[in-house]
Amino acid sequence: MTMLRVLVMNGPNLNLLGVREPEVYGTTTLEAIEARIAEKAAVLDVDVSFFQSNHEGALIDHLHEAMGVFDGVVLNPGAYTHYSYALRDAIAGVGLPVVEVHLSDIGAREDFRAVSVTAPVCIAQISGLGVDSYLEGLEVLVARLREEDR
């Protein structure tokens, strides 16, 4: 059996983790989060790649390029979560299973954050667990992919 390939994508401002609103997002850098995810991926025996962009089109292009290359995606769309119909359409369009993750609890903050336009086309949304949102997101995605494979 070939190894599952998972793409972990982060949207705008997540490159600033560590310095960005630490009271909301914690002090862990994106690099450190990616290292934690890579460790978890090794335990789960899956291949993982990372991508971050502050640009909507770059995220969409990368999702398109993921078709046929990756088996699934863990995605933190940042603020695009709340209004990017273009990103939502891309997720629906590529047909890859996507798990949406958020460090903070988007349901417990400003009203505009409680709405996710991307979640309805994702297989799951995990929010509010800090770095563990990514680790749990990876677990949920891999479990789903392995289930499909049986």
- Binding footprint of ligand DQA on the chain (CB under 6 A): 13, 76, 78-79, 81, 102-104, 106, 113
What is the C-alpha to C-alpha distance for residues 5 and 44, in angstroms, rounded to an integer?
11
Least spacing, CB of residue 63 vs ligand DQA, in Å:
17
Nearer to ligand DQA, 53 or 81 (CB): 81
Least spacing, CB of residue 4 vs ligand DQA, in Å:
24
Is 25 considered catalytic here? Answer: yes
Nearer to ligand DQA, 78 or 97 (CB): 78
7: region left, alpha or beta (phi > 0 left; psi from -120 to 50 alpha) = beta
Nearer to ligand DQA, 70 or 127 (CB): 127
Least spacing, CB of residue 73 vs ligand DQA, in Å:
15
Q: Which residues are catalytic?
A: 25, 102
